Structure 1
Amino acid sequence: LEYHTYDVFTSTIFAGNPLAVIHVPSSLPPSAVPQQTRQLLAREFNYSETVVLSLPSSTSSTSPTSSPNDASGASMEEVPTFPVQIFLVDAEVPLAGHPVIGTAVHIFTRLLPKGTTRAALQTKAGLCPITYDTDTGRVGADMPHDLHQHSWRPTAEELGAQQPALAAYLKGEGSGVEALGVDVLSLVKGMTFVYVRLPSVEALGRVGMFQPRLEPTVLDEGWREGVLMMMFYVVLGEAEEEGGRKIRTRMIEGTFEDPATGSASCGLAVLLSLKSGEGGRWEMVQAVEIGRRSEIAVKVDMSGEEVKRLELGGTAVGVMQGRV
């Protein structure tokens, strides 16, 4: 099987978040690469996520169902469509942001005719229309979403025990989880994040790993599956373009820190949009503290209190390729 690796949400090699994309040719029956083998391949790469990309018999293959229009207003029904599976090292997940962006860059730059600007990924969470800017190399993805805010939130005491270096920010009048802002949101079923707002970049730098990792058993009934991770964030101010907001983030899952988490970034943008009552654009910078700076763009379009469209944007740079 052919594979390619990318650093995602960056244009600089050895920054961003690594991703492996493994080709499964259309000439192979699905049984030739069973689910267990696909999971073992992800474990072998040991990246935060690995994509198994099923190559269509022809790049003229099109998306099988209608979907929302892309930013240009053109129908996405007649674009090349690629089925994908997204794997953590120990499980498959229905959706994740950096695999979508990295795979999109791979498809536009290596698999489709030069100049192609529209395609789609078929994820387990739904159809994901993707676009490509041939001038900048940036891709945009209309992210599937099935949003749910949970009733459970960690207490200040629980956060303090998990993050002792943040204890000073969790005590005293005008502090604690209510003042800081702690929310729990699922972007889709199986991808849930605890969002903890911090007052400063200094506080963000104090965030550490923790054990045991969070389990989804604390979530609302019907949503207790998949992964439960924590994103810590600081709102910095207005971005230079389109009136967006600049945010610094870190994403922790137990003893692992993710260099770039597109799905968590999407959820954070949705959360802030719901709090403010309006959509907008967010420019997020993640993982500076571990030397893997990642730049993630999210745009939220709302109609009333409903999220109508959620676009994730970014770049990726190729690193390695080979066969396994």
Structure 2
Amino acid sequence: MDRPHRRNSDIHDNKYGHQHPTLPMPPGYTPPFMNLTNNRDISDSDSPELAPAAISKAYHASGSQSRQGHSQYLGGGPYQNRERSDQISNEWGCYPSDTSSYTSSRSSSSKSYTHLPPFQDAYMHPASRPHSLDEDPHSDQDNTIITLRREKEHLEDKISKLEVKVASLEGELSSSRQSYEQLLEKITSVQIGTSKAQSHSTTAMDPFMSLLKDAREKDEAPYATHDQFPHIVYWTKVDYLKDSQIGREYLKTKRDDNSGSVGFLEDENGKIISREDQQRIRDYQRSLCYTLLKFGLAPVTWSRCTQVAREFFFRSMRTKFPVLRYCADHWKADTFMGLYY
């Protein structure tokens, strides 16, 4: 009787000892002696090797009886005994005697827990942890990579455009420098030519200024007024233009058959001077124009003439022909020069 029992115990220990090591027994627990060979529930066959499921069943049955006795000894009632029996049975049910009972025990235990025990996911591999439907780490990483690649492509394209723009600006800068250097050379040459012309002009103006000085010294007569010569008809240019625009025959100056064509050249009595006197004024005016031309002071039109040239002309004409004094602001000499310049 001892040999089969020993053989079955060895089979149980060798087969399941390494998977389920023996834990300490509860306080006050003494396993009873069991005759496994007389229990017909252990195995239906006469095989010398006992089935693991039968051993586990007998073991739990004996443990239940022992726990009942201890509970009665401790003073507990039937309900309390059944509750403690369930607790001890659940406690020792985690050590099944075979694979099928272990699986059934795990499945029965998992039915009572709808969620994982606390902190159990902390000891799980990241790949085996459960993820919610909203969490997709691989998708987030892919989106981040795609975004970074797009930003990189955008920056590379922007850098390429900036490089092209910089090259274009460098070309424009080089062209501007060349244009500036050419302009600077032209300005320098013009300044040199201007300085030479000014020196030549100053040298040429010296004789003309001598002529102007002589004209100023000769023109010593004071400027006349209309009160001094009340018979002069056209003392101002405005009065003359008012009548001349209507027609020559409407001029208020006196005339005869010997009078000249210019109606504002009148003597002290308001009579137009003769044709011969007007011709002499024209001849002298031409000589003054040649003098201005000689010194480079005769422009294309009389209105563009310089003030120095005008002064020289007015003083020379006033000194030579007193009839040109009988007016305000030299308008008769100025108008005559404009007619025959």
TM-score range, shorter chain: under 0.3
Per the normalisation by structure 1, the TM-score is 0.18
Larger radius of gyration: 2
Per the normalisation by structure 2, the TM-score is 0.17
Structure with a larger share of its residues in helix: 2
